[in-house]
Amino acid sequence: MNDDALRYALLAVVGVLWATVVAFSVSRGEWLPTIVVIALTAMWLAARQLARFNRRRKGRRSDWPQGDSAWS
């Protein structure tokens, strides 16, 4: 099994678990687990975006001016 297939299978399992927790807690009227799951998902997505942004920015650092000439 290649990496992409494994990644998508894991993502599908996590998605089903996420939907199950949210649906079960909402049906019972318990909002705290739903809020926690949504907050954790938002933090995970934000961390992924930040990591992607930092990887992209690191590649352009060599184009920045070096030394005191950058401030003059």
Please, which pLDDT band fits residue 29 given cuts at 50, 70 and 90?
A: confident
Helices (H), the chain: 3-27, 32-60
Range of the domain at 39: 3-58
Task: Look up the pTM and report it.
Answer: 0.52
31, part of any domain:
yes
| Per-residue model confidence (pLDDT) at position 62 | 56
44, part of any domain:
yes
- Is 44 a residue whose pLDDT tops 80? yes
Residue 22: CB atoms within 10 Å: 16
27, part of any domain:
yes
26, part of any domain:
yes
19, part of any domain:
yes
| Per-residue model confidence (pLDDT) at position 5 | 86
Matching residue, tokens 């996420």: 18
The count of structural domains within the chain is 1
| Pairwise CA distance, residues 19 & 32, whole Å | 15
- Is 41 a residue whose pLDDT tops 80? yes
Region 37-56 average pLDDT? 86
65, part of any domain:
no
Region 10-22 average pLDDT? 87
